[in-house]
Amino acid sequence: MPNLDFTPNFIHNPSRIQSILTPKHQPPRNPSRQTPKSAPASRSKQTPPPPPPAARPSKLKYLAINAFIIFHLVAILFWSIPLNTPLNAAAKTLLRPYLVSSGLFQSWDMFGPNAKSANIYLEAVVIYKDGTTSLYSFPRMEMLSYSERYAKERYRKYEETLPNDTYAALWPDAARHIARLNNDKNHANPPTKVLLVVRWSDIIMPTATRDYDRGPWDSHVFYSYDVTPEDLQ
């Protein structure tokens, strides 16, 4: 009896099965829903180029900077060292324009070789037209608040140096300034004379049985100025 196979022929043909299951005309995809293709990884993650190396100063600039630093250190050294030698005096004369114009002048003489040996402050006696007098006191740091000291601390140095004969050229200006400060606004009783007075008390050095102390206060009139009407204008 012949072998009768009733299995359809397309079952034995897989490619035909696939053609039957797949529609011939597929509907187009919605372009708005399509996922954009991502760029290759090599393009999306590019590393930025390294920054260019900083330009280095030329050798001439290095030499100029080093020369200025050496000059500045030598200038500060000669100006601040407490020695009275011909070399130091000549160096200060040459360096004075640079240090004064730049505001870098300073003095450490108070620390050596001879420290201050007295407490000093200045006063002025103002004599008026009618013969009355008043006492003007320069700012004293120990009598001022911290905020006032911040603004007037330079008066301490001013009072230390003004009585020195080296600064005698400043005495008339100081006397005129005090006369204007004490002038009557109505000009009925103007100042006629100003006496600059220095007061000092020697510092007594300590001993084995005694701490620092001060001596009695002394005073000296080191300048007298006759006030003119032009000085009060």
| Closest to 212 measured CA to CA, from 199, 222, 203, 202 | 203
- The strand pair at 133-137 and 191-204 is best described as unpaired
**211 falls in which pLDDT band (50, 70, 90)?**
confident
Query: Mean pLDDT in the chain?
Result: 80
On whether the CB atoms of residues 72 and 82 are closer than 8 A, the answer is no
Amino acid at 46: Q
| 46: pLDDT strictly greater than 90 | no
Summarised one tens digit per residue, pLDDT across range 58-70 is 888 989 999 999 9
CA separation for the pair 178, 161 (Å, rounded): 17
**49 falls in which pLDDT band (50, 70, 90)?**
confident
Domain ranges of the chain: 60-110, 118-204+213-232
Of residues 124 and 19, the one with the higher pLDDT is: 124
| Closest to 157 measured CA to CA, from 176, 170, 146 | 170
CA separation for the pair 164, 94 (Å, rounded): 24
Bridge partners, 220 (sequence order): 198
Bridge partners, 68 (sequence order): none
pLDDT value, residue 180: 94
Structure tokens, 135: 């006492």
CA separation for the pair 130, 118 (Å, rounded): 36
Average pLDDT over residues 143-164: 87
pLDDT value, residue 197: 96
Bridge partners, 197 (sequence order): 123, 221
**169 falls in which pLDDT band (50, 70, 90)?**
very high
On whether the CB atoms of residues 125 and 197 are closer than 8 A, the answer is yes
Summarised one tens digit per residue, pLDDT across range 7-36 is 455 445 555 555 555 555 555 555 555 555
On whether the CB atoms of residues 144 and 117 are closer than 8 A, the answer is no
DSSP codes of every residue in 60-78:
HHHHHHHHHHHHHHHHHHH
CA separation for the pair 132, 57 (Å, rounded): 71
CA separation for the pair 110, 88 (Å, rounded): 18
Amino acid at 223: Y
